[in-house]
Amino acid sequence: MKLSVAIPESALSDESLKIDKTRKISVLARACAIFKIDTIYVYQEGTNKSEGGLMIMILKYLETPQFLRRRLFPIMNDLKYSGVLHPLKIPSHNTPVNAKKIKTGDIREGIVVSQKGKKFVDVGINQLIQYYGDTSNGKRVTVRFKEGYPKLSVKDIDKSEIPTYWGYSVKERANLFSVLSEWKGNIIITSRKGKPISNEILSKYTKSDEPTLVVFGSPERGVHEIIGGRMNKVQNAKSLNFFPNQATETVRLEEALLGTLSILNAQSTS
């Protein structure tokens, strides 16, 4: 099952300090990585757009392999508390620094650099490798080794060619309706007003070849309130309650994300 999620930038509004906002984003990123989320859509909901920028920046920072971060992310205030972030430790981050361990077929993330008029790619092995692809200097690239050590030649590949989970992408949208309108596949709207989940209902999604988007509301408004009267224009969407009989007044986004994705993952492997 190929899963993506839509979360509001206003999810940070219930935290007052930037360090706490940073910690919350870290929990969200870890949950998405654990359950192999393909794309995280961050949609605007509210008036504080700076929080959306903070969320997108830290989500992208965490997904980037550590050895690339210094080149791709300059010193900035949004990353002031990056020291509290928990690493994702996904396969794309496991990069050996010893070139002798590189084998034919290995896949790595890298950054394209220029030296003496030629392009190279830095994949974190303390040795630059000549690069013949179209990616411009300073940009991130995914490569597969055509030859291992000592020749070390690479070629560009698309992430769809990688057999293991390689990380999520992050996309920003002006509002939730634009996310739902462009989505091609199944949509699950998480809501306490939705139909209580059952194995029968969930199997429709876990056994489907279509990608599924799981949509979460904000601390102040649920998805139905955010969309309003345009809900009837959303195709292939079903409202489901993943926390029936909840005792708390609300379920926080980080709790809803972990709980919902855990249930979907358990159902898909049963």
> What confidence tens digit (pLDDT) does each residue in 109-136 have?
999 999 988 999 999 998 899 999 999 9
Q: What is the 3-state secondary structure (H, E, C) of 145-214?
A: EEECCCCCEEEECCHHHCCCCCCCEEEEECCHHHHHHHCCCEEEEEEEEEEECCHHHHHHHHCCCCCEEE
Give the pLDDT score at 140.
96
Q: What percent of the chain has pLDDT over 90?
A: 78
Give the pLDDT score at 165.
96
Give the pLDDT score at 51.
79
Longest dimension (CA), the chain: 65
In the chain, where does the domain assigned CATH 3.40.1280.10 lie? 3-89+167-268
Which has the closest alpha carbon to 150: 215, 209, 83, 103?
A: 103
In the chain, where does the domain assigned CATH 2.40.50.140 lie? 91-161
How far, in whole angstroms, is CA 128 from its chain's centroid? 28
Q: What is the mean pLDDT of the chain?
A: 92
Per-residue tokens: 217: 């509301």
Q: What is the 3-state secondary structure (H, E, C) of 102-146?
A: CCCCCEEEEEEEEECCEEEEECCCCCCEECCCCCCCCCEEEEEEE
User: Which CATH superfamily includes the segment(s) 3-89+167-268?
Assistant: SPOUT methyltransferase, trefoil knot domain (3.40.1280.10)
Give the pLDDT score at 47.
67
- 218-253 confidence digits (pLDDT tens): 888 889 899 887 877 888 899 999 999 999 988 999
- C-alpha–C-alpha distance, residues 162 and 63, integer Å: 16
Count CA atoms closer than 13 A to 258's CA, side-chain side.
12
Query: What's the pTM?
Result: 0.94
Tell me the CATH architecture of domain 91-161.
Beta Barrel (2.40)
What H or E segment, with its residue span, contains residue 245?
Answer: none
Instruction: Give the dihedral sign, CA 125/70/136/55.
Output: positive
What H or E segment, with its residue span, contains residue 233?
Answer: none
